[in-house]
Structure 1
Amino acid sequence: MKISIATFNAENLITADKPIYDESWPHYNQDQYQRKTDWIRNQLLKMNADIIGFQEIFEEQALRDCLTGTCMENWPFFVANPTGKYPVNAILSRFPIVETEVIEHLPFVFDFFDDKEMTAPLESIPVNIPLKKFSRGVLNAELKINENFSVLVIVLHLKSKRPILPDGIDRDTATYPELAKGCIRSLIRRSIESCGVRQILSDEINKDESKPIFILGDLNDNDTAVTSQVILGEEPFRKLLPEERIKRWTHVFQNCRDIQARKSIENYQYTYIHNGHYESLDNIFVSNHFADLNSKRIGRIIDVRLYNDHVIDDKTSMDKKPVYVTDHGQVVVNIDLPEPSSLVPTDAG
């Protein structure tokens, strides 16, 4: 049995004649909106995925319009508390959606402290960083693959790299030191959000180790960045006792990009281009149930497909991205599972 999962940043998906954020003008006119929904619809048909996690959905109706006239039109889907002003996550699934949860608040207060050697002779006193909410609510959805088997899908959109600047200063007027501080503020927020996601994942695994987890999203960092690695989890130290290693492996996720790269002679995967830099901001992580080295694995990654022909490198091309086309590539992962009759939950080791 093959299932395919995908992540899709739709870039400002809202109906025509509506503003977004603090704009006072419509983001799309009627013609632009029609072109955008047509483009997303065609892209979804090409991707042919069973489960899609979306980012940057502003209105439920806009996503419905993208599905009109397709087999996906009647599929279950859920949009995470759309406001029409700010982007949220969403999920579309060929399989029934059993339960959904939108986690808006970080599951802890982050306390910062430094190495004692760096603060001596003063005492290193923890300082609470007053961040309470995710930039966009984390969407958790339980999907029922068959009568005996369900999976948890988590859709993410972490804080962007756009610098957080004081009022009255923008990217065009800020000095380089001000821009540096703004970028670090964004990094701090994105880093704490990634820790929050890691807490959510560990809590879910502790509740039920047998349930596979898929993480779909725009992480706004390269796959090798600390923020991404925090979510994936570090491989257990090889000198740990075998039973402790197995226990810790259940909390480690696999980046589908890495799995594909190991199978490929060359690796050209990217989903975003900024100032000539090719980056993999959009990723799909899977729980240890699908790790090649897991003797109790319940499935395997067949391949990873990128839909990024529309992503333009404006440093080398004179082409300009049409307003209706998204600025991110889409990622689709095909997974091989046992046939439904034999697909039952199992402990991952």
Structure 2
Amino acid sequence: MATLPRPRRNTPLRFASCNLYNLNLPGRALYGRPGWTEAQYAAKIAWLAQALRGVEAEVWGFQELWHPEPLQAAFRAAGLDGDYQLLTRPGLNGQGIACAAAVHRSLAIDPVAEPALAPVWIERFPPQLQLRSGGGEDPQSPAIAVTIKGFSRPVLRLALRVAPGLPLVEVHVAHLKSKGPTEVGGEAWFRADPSAFAPHREALGSAISTVRRTAEAAALRVLLTERMKAEGRPTVVMGDLNDDRLSNTQALITGQPDLLLRADRKGGSATGLYATELMEGQRSLRDVSYTYIHQGEHGSLDHILVSQAFYDRSRQRLWRFEGLRIYNDHLNLEDPAATGTPDHGIVQACFAYDPA
């Protein structure tokens, strides 16, 4: 049987991640509050359609989608509905938010012909994640047990047939727990003695959110290690990870691979991930990237992480890093509800086929 040709050198492969800021049908309540008006919904669809036309990507990852219909409407408005296959969670009906994806039809997703390409939404933590310890080697450390069993927002995993003759590329779209304090006022222990807990309400809620996000990051790392060892596929993780690239949760997800890759190394890490934000920083004179503004503080919460197949310094490289672009001008607008803008920037990572 003849071997299928590989793609031409410099063929682009671009990924983009966008938090949709509660993309919901109009008139539907959002977390107990009134939802978008018809005018606000129309503005959101128009803005997203413009972004879809302006940010070129073969693969899009989305977060905070309540129904599939608004995303479909945005692609129609952009004139791209025939160019992309939308992957939205089955049964998504406004009862909660989910991750979604859009894949250019040139990448030929056919889950019927190739079951390995079928997207899945992962809710439960893997059984290998055990967050219990009696204190370990430190006798002064009290025992700890974290009993969280699943992701706040299921992780979307899909595989792509990028080109004949190349391995499948596995993509994970994730949205980890936010930094916002968990509301604890309704908990039984709080109601039993509100005067004792009320002064610490925000601190306790923030700690709970941090523990949850850390557990989710660890669970994602376990999933990645299992998949990357078993399948050996080029891997991309993208989405709203709700922490910056120097955070503990980011270190958990990436596995902190060696970035320098000295000359005596044969390649990169088989299970590690490389932050495209850091890859861009290595070639830029100044780092001014941000995807979120909170109380005047600029930060990067949205990330695209890639395996060694996308890392320039690895001998296992298949795609050369072309650059990272962050579309964030809209974050400085004063009224996102009126303008239809999301509250996060769009992150785009560009690569080109160029094996080491």
Does the pair score TM above 0.5?
Answer: yes
CA RMSD of aligned residues (A): 2.6
Query: What is the aligned partner in structure 2 of residue 79 from structure 1?
Result: 88
Query: What is the aligned partner in structure 2 of residue 320 from structure 1?
Result: 335
- Check if 1:119 corresponds to 2:140: yes
Alpha-carbon distance, 1:48 to partner: 1.6
Q: Name the amino acid aligned to 1:99.
A: A
Alpha-carbon distance, 1:116 to partner: 4.3
Alpha-carbon distance, 1:322 to partner: 3.4
* 2:211 alignment partner, one of 168, 188, 201: 188
Q: Name the amino acid aligned to 1:83.
A: N
Distance 1:180 1:233 in 2: 29
* 2:297 alignment partner, one of 272, 277, 290: 277
TM-score (norm 2): 0.84
Distance 2:211 2:162 in 1: 37
Query: What is the aligned partner in structure 2 of residue 96 from structure 1?
Result: 108
* 1:228 alignment partner, one of 239, 250, 267: 250
Q: Name the amino acid aligned to 2:337.
A: P
- Check if 1:330 corresponds to 2:352: no
Q: Name the amino acid aligned to 1:321.
A: P
Distance 1:29 1:321 in 2: 13
Query: What is the aligned partner in structure 1 of residue 158 from structure 2?
Result: 141
- Check if 1:110 corresponds to 2:131: yes
Assess if the C-alpha contact under 8 Å between 2:235 and 2:306 holds in 1: yes
Distance 2:352 2:258 in 1: 26
* 1:9 alignment partner, one of 11, 19, 38: 19
Map 1:155-174 onto structure 2 (within 5 A). 155-168=173-186
Identity of aligned residues (%): 26
Aligned to 2:213, what secondary structure does the other structure show? Answer: helix
Cα deviation, 1:21-42, whole Å, max 9, x if unaligned, reads 334x3x1111111111000000
Map 1:338-349 onto structure 2 (within 5 A). 338=354
Assess if the C-alpha contact under 8 Å between 1:256 and 1:285 holds in 2: yes
Number of corresponding residues: 322
Pair 1:237–1:67, CA change in 2 (3 A): closer
Alpha-carbon distance, 1:72 to partner: 2.5
- Check if 1:259 corresponds to 2:279: yes
Alpha-carbon distance, 1:83 to partner: 3.4
Alpha-carbon distance, 1:288 to partner: 1.0
Aligned to 1:335, what secondary structure does the other structure show? Answer: strand
Query: What is the aligned partner in structure 2 of residue 309 from structure 1?
Result: 329
Pair 1:261–1:248, CA change in 2 (3 A): closer
TM-score (norm 1): 0.85
Query: What is the aligned partner in structure 2 of residue 129 from structure 1?
Result: 146
Cα deviation, 1:143-174, whole Å, max 9, x if unaligned, reads 1112233211100000001111323499xx98
Q: Name the amino acid aligned to 1:54.
A: F
Assess if the C-alpha contact under 8 Å between 1:106 and 1:133 holds in 2: yes
Aligned to 1:117, what secondary structure does the other structure show? Answer: coil
Unaligned runs of 5+ in 2: 1-10, 110-116
Assess if the C-alpha contact under 8 Å between 2:308 and 2:316 holds in 1: no
Alpha-carbon distance, 1:57 to partner: 0.4
Query: What is the aligned partner in structure 2 of residue 65 from structure 1?
Result: 73
Assess if the C-alpha contact under 8 Å between 1:76 and 1:96 holds in 2: no
Query: What is the aligned partner in structure 1 of residue 5 from structure 2?
Result: none
Assess if the C-alpha contact under 8 Å between 1:109 and 1:131 holds in 2: no
- Check if 1:197 corresponds to 2:220: yes
Distance 1:70 1:103 in 2: 30
Query: What is the aligned partner in structure 1 of residue 307 from structure 2?
Result: 287
Alpha-carbon distance, 1:248 to partner: 7.7
Alpha-carbon distance, 1:141 to partner: 0.6
